[in-house]
Amino acid sequence: MKTIKGPALFLAQFAGDDAPFNSWDAITRWAADCGYRGVQVPSWDGRLFDLEAAASSVDYCDEFKGKAKENGVEVTELSTHLQGQLVAVHPAYDTAFDGFAAESVRGNPKARQEWAVDQVKKALSASRNMGISAHATFSGALAWPYIYPWPQRPTGLIETAFDELARRWKPILDHAEDCGVDVCYEIHPGEDLHDGVTYEMFLERTGNHARACMLYDPSHYVLQCLDYLDNIDIYKDRIRMFHVKDAEFNPTGRQGVYSGYQSWVDRAGRFRSLGDGQVDFGAVFSKMAANDFDGWAVVEWECCLKHPEDGAREGAQFVSDHIIRVTERAFDDFADGGADEAANRKMLGID
Q: For 135-150, write each residue's pLDDT tens digit.
A: 999 999 999 999 999 9
Q: For 297-327, write each residue's pLDDT tens digit.
A: 999 999 999 999 999 999 999 999 999 998 7
Residue 335 pLDDT grade (very low, low, confident, very high; cuts 50, 70, 90) = low
Domain ranges for the chain = 5-347
Q: For 255-299, write each residue's pLDDT tens digit.
A: 999 999 999 999 999 999 999 999 999 999 999 999 999 999 999
The architecture that CATH gives domain 5-347 is Alpha-Beta Barrel (3.20)
Residue 1 has pLDDT above 90, yes or no: no
Phi, psi of 2, rounded to the nearest 5 degrees: -130, 150
Say how far apart CA 201 and CA 41 lie, in whole Å: 29
Average pLDDT in the 157-181 region?
98
Residues making up the chain, counted from first to last: 351
Q: For 74-105, write each residue's pLDDT tens digit.
A: 999 999 999 999 999 999 999 999 999 999 99
pLDDT at 219: 98
C-alpha triplet 234, 236, 237: angle, nearest 5°: 110
pLDDT at 333: 66
Say how far apart CA 51 and CA 42 lie, in whole Å: 10
Query: Which candidate, 53, 85, 83, places its Cα nearest to that of 165?
Result: 85
Q: What is the DSSP-derived secondary structure letter of residue 51?
A: H
Average pLDDT in the 231-241 region?
98
pLDDT at 51: 98
pLDDT at 173: 98
pLDDT at 133: 98
Average pLDDT of the chain is: 96
Q: What is the pTM of this model?
A: 0.95
Instruction: Sort residue 109 into left (φ over 0), alpha (ψ -120 to 50) or beta.
Output: alpha
Residue 343 pLDDT grade (very low, low, confident, very high; cuts 50, 70, 90) = confident
